[in-house]
Amino acid sequence: MGLTSAMNTAATGLKSNSVMLETIGDNIANVNTTAFKSNRADLESQFAITLRDAAGPANGLGGVNPSQVGLGSAIGAIQRSFVQGSISATGSPADLAIDGQGFFILNDGVTDFYTRDGAFSLDVNNQLVSRDGLPVQGWSAAADGTVDTTGAVGTLNIPLGSLTQVQATSTAEIAGNLNADATVATVGAVQISAALATAAGVASANTALTDLVDGNGQALFVEGDVIEINDVAKGGLTLPATAFVVGTDGGSVQDFMDFMEGSFAIHTDAGLNDGAGVTMNELGQIVVTSNVGEINAIDLDSTDIHNVTRQIAPFTFTATTEAAGSGLTTSFLVYDSLGNSVDVRLRLVLESKDSLGTTWRYYAESTGDSDLSKAVGSGTISFDQNGQYIGATGDPLSVNRAGTGAADPLTFALDTTAMTALASGSAISEFTLADQDGKPFGTLVDYQIDRDGLIVGSFSNGLTENLGQVALATFINPQGLKMVTDNNYITTQNSGAATVTAANTNSAGRIQSGALELSNVDLAREFIGLINASTGFSAASRVITAADQLLQELLLIAR
């Protein structure tokens, strides 16, 4: 022991306090580093020289404590603080912050890295990556949008602008009020044509169209003639034009009557029992009988059916019975499996009313139906004596889509639970489509990440779909992690293996999108530590200076 030892001891103080200064300097330098976790240098004493050991009381003397001189200080450990940093909003949906103990998982293809820095973005391949290009790990969603968080993690893809989606309609919700003061529908409109004849006499349903003749014995049709049905009014609304090619779409009068019945969307279900349809009587006249109610009434003018090829009107109709009964109608769009819009029209008539309530019948038709008949379903809606909904009958509406490339048929339920049947006073009923769950073609235009890390894509058609879920990792001893560059950590033997989990599970914490975690450096504490470390460094240097001066004094004595 001596002055040389004092200098060596003071030198350890210089080294220890310089490490403290380095640690504090690193903390201060990273005060604005995203998700930086501050370090603390903990000092410990070094070996001590024992000048005298302790001795217990003996021979009437008291005990003696040991006499030791320390040999300075050393760095015992540098502890990293994983205290939660403040969270600051950024507005970018790719920026993520963790409120909890979890870590994001990154992978370079070989090694897993762990970070609290959630400053992510999308690369050219629409992968979610860190600012240094490391793919963020998570679970991709299955085709039905479900995410299996028990499987292996992988890269996350958010294909903005390239992923498309449609949704076929499965339910259409109708809302409104049906006027309980309406008139019960009892009769359909009846239109009768002039008698059809052949060269041999009165025509029948089985007569070939090419055998029909006019009053001068001239043929009304030849093979290939186009019969167009145009400007036919049904319930005051004009039906779309249709065309029948003689010999291609059918060759008999019955074939053409079936075509008319389908074009007019006349419902001939056995349960209706209203005699509606297109038939031929014994006089050779075509009889068009609409479904009951004014809203179903078909009005045929002499020019509504004409032979386009020969520029003649082969059939003339006369109204013999007018429809009776209140009704109303509305049209709306639904969507098939390809996202094509399909027009559907509902016609409602009051079928019955008594002291127990009212029952309305709906008739559905669609110009998008690809088969012969445009009628796509019928049913009833019942209300109690207070005008409140009781129930409905009828199968789901079914629109044939054969030949369109879409799933055939398009079948969807009609939800009428939101309707009422109250007396409106003005004798006006009102109803409309409130909602339907089908969506046309849409492109992924945006995404959000929720607190569970679930990535939800938003499409231009209003649909949303789960695209994947960000995974988090937790550790038994996070302080055992080894920090590498770019705000990343790797595991060590003392950190334990990563436990991969979803956010909001165990201690992983929740994810906040559009925000970043700030550094947890406390500047006030760092400045205090800076004063202490610099004071310790200065004091240790003074010891060296003092020891040096004393050594110089010794050298002078020797002279």
Predicted pLDDT at 145: 87
Asked if the model's pLDDT at residue 3 lies above 80, the reply is no
The DSSP 8-state label assigned to residue 11 in this structure reads H
Read off the pLDDT of residues 139-166 as tens digits, 9 standing for 90 and up. 999 988 899 999 999 999 999 988 888 8
Q: Name residue, tokens 């055998």.
A: 211
Q: Which of 299, 323, 347 is the last residue of a domain?
A: 323
Is 9 within a domain?
Answer: yes
pLDDT, mean over the chain: 91
Cβ atoms 303, 283 nearer than 8 A: no
Strand, helix or coil for residue 294: helix
Expressed in angstroms, the distance from the first to the final Cα of the chain is: 23
Residues 497-550 have pLDDT tens digits of: 999 999 998 889 999 999 999 999 999 999 998 998 889 888 878 888 887 788
Would you say residue 427 has pLDDT above 80? Answer: no
pLDDT of residue 223: 94
- Count other Cβ atoms within 10 Å, centred on residue 36: 22
Are 188 and 296 in contact, with CB atoms under 8 Å apart? Answer: yes
User: What whole-number distance in Å separates Cα of residue 463 and Cα of residue 480?
Assistant: 45
* 63 belongs to a structural domain: yes
What is residue 506's predicted lDDT score, i.e. its pLDDT?
A: 84
* pLDDT tier for residue 356 given thresholds of 50, 70 and 90: very high
Backbone angles phi, psi at 447, to 5 degrees: -155, 160
Residue 147 lies in a domain: yes
Residue 413 φ then ψ, to 5°: -85, 150
Share of the chain above pLDDT 90, in %: 70
Does 454 share its domain with 498?
Answer: yes
Least confident residue range of 151-160, 294-303, 546-555: 546-555
Both tokens of residue 368? 């998008």
C-alpha distance from residue 501 to each of 99, 140, 515 (Å): 15, 14, 21
Q: What is the 3-state secondary structure (H, E, C) of 120-166?
A: CEECCCCEEECCCCCEEEEEECCCCCCCCCCCCCEECECCCCCCEEE
CA-closest candidate to residue 491, choices 480, 502, 476, 501: 480
Q: Is residue 405 part of a domain?
A: yes
Q: Are residues 315 and 371 in the same domain?
A: no
Residues 476, 404 share a domain: no
Section 128-146 average pLDDT = 93
Of 38, 24, 81, the closest CA to residue 478 belongs to 81
Give the tens place of pLDDT for each residue, 206-225. 999 999 998 888 999 999 99
DSSP 272-293: T-S--EEEE-TTS-EEEEPPSS
Quote the radius of gyration of the chain (alpha carbons, Å).
Answer: 44
**Residues 6 or more apart in contact with residue 519 via CB below 8 angstroms:** 30, 31, 32, 33, 34, 35, 36, 37, 38, 85
Q: How many CB atoms lie within 10 A of CB 308?
A: 12
Sign of CA dihedral 159, 162, 163, 169: positive
Chain position carrying tokens 């309609």: 169
164 lies in some domain:
no
Please tell me the predicted confidence (pLDDT) of residue 510: 96
Answer yes or no: do 393 and 503 share one domain: no
Domain end residue (candidates: 388, 416, 437)? 437
Q: Which residues contact 90 (CB under 8 A, 6 or more apart)?
A: 514, 515, 516
pLDDT of residue 552: 83
Task: Give residue 254's pLDDT.
Answer: 96
pLDDT 10s digits, 436-487: 988 899 999 999 999 999 999 999 988 889 999 999 999 999 999 999 999 9
pTM of the model: 0.70
Choosing from 415, 437, 459, the residue where a domain stops is 437
> Residue 262 in contact with residue 372, Cβ under 8 Å?
yes
Q: How far apart are CA 456 and CA 518, in angstroms?
A: 26
Q: Is 211 helix (H, G, I), strand (E, B) or coil?
A: helix
More confident residue, 127 or 275: 127
Cβ neighbours of residue 149 closer than 8 Å, sequence gap 6 or more: 139, 469, 471, 501, 502
The answer on 299 and 222 residing in a single domain is yes
User: Span 11-18, mean pLDDT?
Assistant: 85
Residues 372 and 456 in one domain: no
**Tally of domains within the chain:** 4
Whether 325 contacts 351, CB under 8 Å: no
Are residues 52 and 69 both part of a single domain? yes
Tell whether 367 and 422 lie within a shared domain. Answer: yes
Which domain does 459 fall in, by range? 87-159+444-517
Instruction: Please indicate whether residue 458 or residue 6 has the higher confidence score (pLDDT).
Output: 458
3-state secondary structure of 232: coil
426 pLDDT above the threshold of 60: no
Residue 507 sits in the same domain as residue 408: no
pLDDT digits (tens, 9 = 90+) for 320-354: 999 999 889 999 999 999 999 999 999 999 999 99
CA angle 26, 31, 33 (to 5 degrees): 95
In a domain, 34, yes or no: yes
Whether 300 and 211 share a structural domain: yes
44 is a domain residue: yes
Which one-letter DSSP state was computed for residue 507?
Answer: T
**In this predicted structure, what is the pLDDT of residue 338?**
93
The pLDDT of residue 558:
64
User: Percent of the chain having pLDDT more than 70?
Assistant: 98
CA distance 336 to 411: 9
- Statement to judge: residues 101 and 67 lie in one domain: no
Average pLDDT over residues 22-47: 92
**452 belongs to a structural domain:** yes
pLDDT band at 1 (very low <50, low <70, confident <90, very high): low
**Residue keyed to tokens 């019975």:** 321
- Cis, bond preceding 409 (omega within 30 deg of 0): yes
pLDDT of residue 425: 65
Distance CA 285, CA 257 (A): 11
DSSP bridge pairs for 490:
482
Stretch among 20-34, 169-183, 264-278, 419-433 having the lowest mean pLDDT:
419-433
Instruction: Give me the amino acid identity at 211.
Output: D
DSSP state of 251: S
Same domain, 497 and 462: yes
Q: Residue 559: is its pLDDT beyond 70?
A: no
* 85/38 Cα distance (integer angstroms): 10
DSSP state of 519: P
Q: How far apart are CA 332 and CA 366, in angstroms?
A: 10
Written as six digits, the tokens of 263 are: 């074009």
